[in-house]
A = this chain, B = another copy of it.
Amino acid sequence: MRDILSVLQQIEPDLSKSERILAALLRDDAEFIVNAGITDVAERAGVSPPTVTRFCRRLGCDSYTAFKVQVAQVTFAGTRYLTANAASAAPHDVADSLLHQMQEAAVTTRQALDMHAVAQAADAIATAGMLTAFGAGGTSSMISDEMQNRFFRLGLRTVSITDHAMQLMQAATLKPGDVVIALSVSGRNLQMVRALEAARTYGATVIALTRPHRPVADLADITIGIDLPEGDNILRPSSSRFAFLYVTDLLATLVAMKRGDEARESLRRVKYQLSNSRDPDDKEALGD
Query: Contact flags (1/0) for A27-68 with B, using CB distance below 8 Å?
Result: 000000011010000000000000000000000000001101
Name the residue among A238, A252, A283, A284 with the largest chain B CB count within 10 angstroms.
Answer: A284
Q: Chain A interface (Cβ within 8 Å of chain B)?
A: 1, 3, 34-35, 37, 65-66, 68-70, 72-73, 75-79, 89, 91-92, 94-96, 98-99, 102-104, 106-107, 110-111, 113, 115, 118-119, 122, 136-140, 142, 145-146, 149-150, 185-186, 188-191, 215, 230-231, 234-238, 240-242, 245-246, 248-250, 252-254, 256-257, 263-264, 267, 279-285, 287-288
Given A65-B65, A288-B241, also A282-B189 (CB < 8 A): yes
Q: A106-B102, A110-B96, A257-B94 are in contact. Are A235 and B264 (CB under 8 A)?
A: yes
A98 and B235 contacting across the interface, CB-CB below 8 Å:
no
The 6 closest A-B pairs by CB, nearest first: A139-B288, A72-B72, A235-B256, A186-B284, A188-B281, A137-B285
